[in-house]
Amino acid sequence: MAPAARILLVEDDPTLRTILGHMLGNGGFEIVEAGSGGEALAVLREVDVDVVVLDGLLPDMHGLSLARRLLDEPASAGIPICLVSGAAVGRPAMRAGMVSMVKPVFPNQLIAEISALLEWRRAGGSPPAERSAALQRLAQGFLVGP
């Protein structure tokens, strides 16, 4: 049996982090948690993850800024990103290993998006330029920018 995919869950609200963690854990994923962008970057230096699920508005940086930093680092540039935020608008649409979801999210919806991101990664991902363009499109769907 293959090991469970490891998800880095970056959410500053402890209650939402617990709820999202339960959703992902019930979906069969291993969860590593961080409460801020800086904490997430520290975790990524120590732990290999398969997907990053992050809040759009963190206390120390905007989720889009964190996503940009992940894309700029060779070690994390290929990791799929799921932004989950109350500041996002529109329906989820995965592009180049990125998706944004509007809070509140439903468990089946979250698991489906994470599964699609994992499949994207297994299929070989996307070139860096395509990922940067996808992040730009995601940024246009936020009510509050970095």
Is 83 contained in some domain? yes
- Provide φ and ψ at 107, rounded to 5°: -55, -50
Residue 140 confidence (pLDDT) = 76
Percent of the chain past pLDDT 70, that is, above it, reads 89
Mean pLDDT, residues 69-97 taken together: 83
Mean pLDDT, residues 60-89 taken together: 88
Q: Does pLDDT of 1 surpass 60? A: no
Whether 99 and 134 have beta carbons less than 8 Å apart is answered as no
The C-alpha atoms of residue 12 and residue 33 are separated, in whole angstroms, by 10
- Tell me the pLDDT band of 68, cut-offs 50, 70 and 90: very high
In three-state form (DSSP H/G/I as H, E/B as E, the rest C), the secondary structure along 66-86 is HHHHHHHCCCCCCCCEEEEEC
Is 74 contained in some domain? yes
Q: Does pLDDT of 58 surpass 70? A: yes
Is 1 contained in some domain? no
Look up the CATH number of the domain holding residue 23: 3.40.50.2300
Is 91 contained in some domain? yes
Is 145 contained in some domain? no
Provide the number of structural domains found in the chain: 1
pLDDT tens-digit map of 109-128: 999 999 999 999 999 999 98
Mean pLDDT, residues 80-96 taken together: 76
Burial of 101 (0-12, 13-18, 19+ CB in 10 A): buried
Which domain range does residue 118 map to? Answer: 6-139
Residue 146 confidence (pLDDT) = 52
pTM: 0.91
Is 146 contained in some domain? no
- Tell me the pLDDT band of 141, cut-offs 50, 70 and 90: low
Whether 113 and 92 have beta carbons less than 8 Å apart is answered as yes
Is 17 contained in some domain? yes
The pair of three-digit structure tokens given for residue 75, joined into one six-digit string = 């070690």
Give me the count of residues in the chain: 146
